[in-house]
Structure 1
C-alpha cells in the first residue's frame, strides 16, 4: 500500500503474490510507482507475502530506510536471503526443463545479493514509540500478535489518522501476546484471511492433545509423519508442542527432523528471544535431544530411507523447498501420513492435496496419493472472523472508511456483509489491486482511480492448476477405455479441439 501526500510517498509492506503460477507471474511486473521516489517503507512483519518484493524494490532504485521492529529485522536477514536463493534456483530449474527447449530463458525476479542489500536498509524501531518516516508524517508500530516481531502500522499526517492492521494473530496464540492498538481513526485497513469463518476456541493444552493423537496414530501406522510447515513461526510452534509432549511422555521418543535450512536459522532467532516469548518458561525449548536440524542436501536425501519419524519441512503450502522432495517420497506410501497445520491458498499444491486429489504433479513427475491426509486447524497464526471483528471494534470510532484486504473473495465479501450489518452508516470498501483513494479526515474515502480487473481472473485456481490436474489423470482415464479404437478416437477428439483454436487464431491473424 502506497500512501502519498504533498510529494511525499510511504509504502507499507512490499510482498510477493503467492498462489497459482499465473498470480505469481504478477511479481515480475513493474511496480505501479517509481521505487526511487519513495521516501520511506514501513514493514509490518517478515512473512514473504508482506516483505518478499523488498529486494526488487531496492534493486530498482529505493535507497531509503525500511522501518520495522528489531525481531523483524533479525528474521529478514535469513528470510530475504532464502527468497533470493529460491528465485535463482527455481529459475535455473525451469530453464533446464526439456519442455522449454528453445524458448527464451527466465530471469530471477531478484538475487540473493539483492536480498541482502535490502536487509541492510532495515532500520529497527521499538513498539509504541513515535518516529518520523518522512517530513510531516508520524508513525507507530503496535503488536499484532501474529508472528515474532509482527506489528500493525499507525500513520498520522496533518490530522488524518490511519491504521493498517498487517496480519493479526488469534487470541491465546503461542509465543505472542494478543494484538494491541489505540482507538479513534479516520481510516482503518484490515486483513481478512479468515474473514468468513469462525474457528473453535481451543486452548494450548487442547491443541497439544490433537497433535498427540496425530503423532501416535502416524507412528502406529509404521511410516513417517510429514508436516509441511512455514519456516517462520509454525515450525517453532510445532517444536514447542512436540517438546512438551516428549517431556510428558505423551508420544514415543521418535526422531524429529526439522529439514529446512531457513527454519533452522529462524529457530536460532527464536532462541535468542526465548526469554521474551510466552509459553517458553524463559528457556530455549528448541534444545531438545530428539530434535535434529538438517542443513545439507545430503542429510535431507538420507531421510528417504527413514521410517517412523516426524519430518517437518518448508514450504508450508508445498510450493517450493524440501517439502516437495518429502511429499514425492512419502505420498505414494500407504503407511505414511501428511499432516497440514497451516493455511493453504487456492492454487497451491497443499490445497490440491487437501481437496482430495488422487494424483499430483511434483517437479514434473506424477505422484499417486495413497498416504493418510490429515489436518489440524488450531495452529493458525491468523485471527478468525470473530477476532477480526473484535479488533476492528476496538479501533472505533472510525469516522472515514474501513478497507478490507488480504483475503480470498469469499472472506472479503463475508466480512463486508457482516460489517455493513453491524454498522449500516459505516463506509466499507473492498479495493481492487491498483485502485487509488483519497483519505480525508473525518470523511469516507473517495476513489480516484479504478483497479485492474484482469488480476481477478488469476486469483485462485488458474489454467495451469486445471492442466496439472487433467494431465496427471489423463493416462489413467485413457487406460480405462478398453477398446483401442475408441481410445484413439478420444485422443483425436482432444487434438481436434486444440487444432480448432490454432486454426481460429490463424484466420484471425490474416483478417487483422
Structure 2
C-alpha cells in the first residue's frame, strides 16, 4: 500500500518533512526542514525513517524550515537524488552554509564556557558542519522547470508549479500510475499571497486526489498590503525629514528584496528624501544577486524596474556593505541613513551593532517588517522594553519602534480559499504547516465555505492513498 507520513509541520508550522512510501516505487521525501521556536529540540532528534533507504527528496523551497535538516540527512546516509528548481538550490547553498557556520560558532562558544566549569561533555556537537552542508551539493541534483513533468521512476511523475512564496518556491504534484489508473497527490509547500511586492501569485492546479496544504494563516487575513506600504513610506519620510535614521532588521531572503523594491520605487516617484541606503548583510547581498539572476521568475513590477534602468534592485542611493569594515564605516553617518541588516529577529548579525550606536537616539526609527518570535530581542522591543542587553551593555530604547504586520510571504485565509476554489476536481484535503488552533479554524471555514472535509494531519500518522 502507498502511504504518507508527516514527520514535521504536523500540528506545528516548522520542520516540514513528509515521507512517501510507494507500493512499487521509490521512497520519497518532500522537504526536510528545521524545527524552530518551541519545537527546536526536535531538529536534533533521530529521524523516524532510515535516511539510507530514501531514494529521492523533492524540495518545495529554500527556507530553513523546509531544507535545514538535509545536511543531517546526508550525514546519516542519504545518497539519493535531489529534485528542485535551480533557483531553490542556489538559495539553499547560501542558507545551509550560513546555518552550518552559525551552528559551528555557537558550539565553539558553548564549549568555551563549559570548559571553564569543567563540563565540556554537556555540550552537544553542532547538528552538522560546513562540510556536511557542502556535501548536499555533491549529490545527484535534477533541476526541475515549472510546469514540466519529470519521470522519477516508471509510473511516477512529478510536476513543480510556481507557489509565489519566495524565489524558486513550488507546489509539487506527484502522479502515480498503476494498471491504467492514476492518482494525484499535491503538496502546496508554502503558498504566497495573490498580491505580493515581488513574486507573482501562486499558479492554480485543477486536479488532485489528495491535497496537503499549508495553514499557517488559515485563521485570518493579513492587513492590506497597500496600507502597510503606505505606513512604511510615512515612517521613512518622517524619520529622514527629522534628521534621523531608519533601522530595518530584515530577513535575508524575500523580505529584504521587497523592501529594496519599495525604496527604489519611492526614489523614482520622488517620494524618498535624499539619503543613503545601506544593505548591510552579506547573506542578503548574495540572495539579492540570486534574485536578480532569476528575474524572469519575479512579477511584472520587478521586471518593469529592470527594463527602466537595467537592474532590478540598484538605484543611486543604495550601497552594499559586504565586508565588516564597510559595516563599521556606516557609524560615521550621523543622519539620513536607511540601514537594512540581519538578523530579522535581532538575535544576531550586524543589526545588533547598529542598535548599539543608534537605538538610544529618539530621532531614529526601528521598523520591524517580519514576525518576531517570543523571547527574541525584536519581540522585547515590540512589547515595550525600555532597554535591551547588547555586548554586555544595557542599551536604552529611545528610538521609535514600529511593527508592520502587512508584509507576509504566506497566503492568508482568503488567499488559501481562493486557491482551493480553482480546483475542478479535489477529493481529500489534509492540513499541515500550522498551529492546531489555527488549523481548527481553517478546517471549519473549509467546511462552511467550500463544503469539503479537511483532516488535520498528526505527527507520524499513516495516511493511505
**Is TM (by shorter chain) over 0.5?**
yes
Long gaps (5+) in structure 2: 1-17
Conserved? CA contact 2:347–2:377, under 8 Å? yes
The alignment's TM-score, normalised by the length of structure 1, stands at 0.78
May I ask how many residue pairs the two structures share in their alignment?
433
The alignment's TM-score, normalised by the length of structure 2, stands at 0.86
Structure 1 residue 3 displacement after superposition: 0.9
Distance 2:53 2:272 in 1: 56
Distance 1:4 1:80 in 2: 27
Alignment of 1:116-155 (within 5 A): 116-121=134-139, 122-155=141-174
- Whether 1:438 and 2:463 are equivalent positions in the alignment is yes
Structure 1 residue 170 displacement after superposition: 0.7
Distance 1:361 1:99 in 2: 24
Partner of 1:294: 321
Distance 1:225 1:118 in 2: 38
53-62 vs 179-188, greater mean Cα deviation: 179-188
Choose the corresponding residue for 2:440, options 408, 413, 419.
413
- Whether 1:353 and 2:381 are equivalent positions in the alignment is yes
Structure 1 residue 347 displacement after superposition: 4.5
Distance 1:348 1:412 in 2: 25
Distance 2:115 2:393 in 1: 13
Distance 2:351 2:124 in 1: 24
Choose the corresponding residue for 1:188, options 211, 224, 249.
211
Structure 1 residue 359 displacement after superposition: 4.1
Distance 2:243 2:289 in 1: 31
Residues 164-206 of structure 1: CA distance to partner in whole angstroms, max 9, x if unpaired?
1111111121232211132232211111222122124344xx6
Partner of 1:177: 200
Distance 1:65 1:8 in 2: 11
Alpha-carbon RMSD? 2.4
Distance 2:110 2:425 in 1: 51
Structure 1 residue 13 displacement after superposition: 0.9
More helix by share: 1
Alignment of 1:282-321 (within 5 A): 282=306, 283-308=310-335, 309-321=337-349
Distance 1:98 1:255 in 2: 43
Conserved? CA contact 1:255–1:290, under 8 Å? yes
SS in 2 for 1:399: strand
Conserved? CA contact 2:220–2:412, under 8 Å? yes
Conserved? CA contact 1:143–1:152, under 8 Å? yes
Structure 1 residue 297 displacement after superposition: 2.2
- Whether 1:37 and 2:32 are equivalent positions in the alignment is no
SS in 2 for 1:71: helix
Conserved? CA contact 1:19–1:347, under 8 Å? no
Conserved? CA contact 2:199–2:297, under 8 Å? no
Choose the corresponding residue for 2:281, options 260, 280, 298.
260
Distance 1:212 1:357 in 2: 25
SS in 1 for 2:108: helix
Conserved? CA contact 1:359–1:369, under 8 Å? yes
Residues 262-320 of structure 1: CA distance to partner in whole angstroms, max 9, x if unpaired?
11111111222235532132431323231111122233234345332111112223333
Larger radius of gyration: 1
Distance 1:423 1:379 in 2: 27
Choose the corresponding residue for 2:101, options 82, 85, 91.
85
Choose the corresponding residue for 2:294, options 265, 273, 277.
273
Greater RCO, 1 or 2 (C-alpha within 8 Å, sep 6+): 2
Partner of 2:13: none
Distance 1:318 1:349 in 2: 6
SS in 1 for 2:37: coil
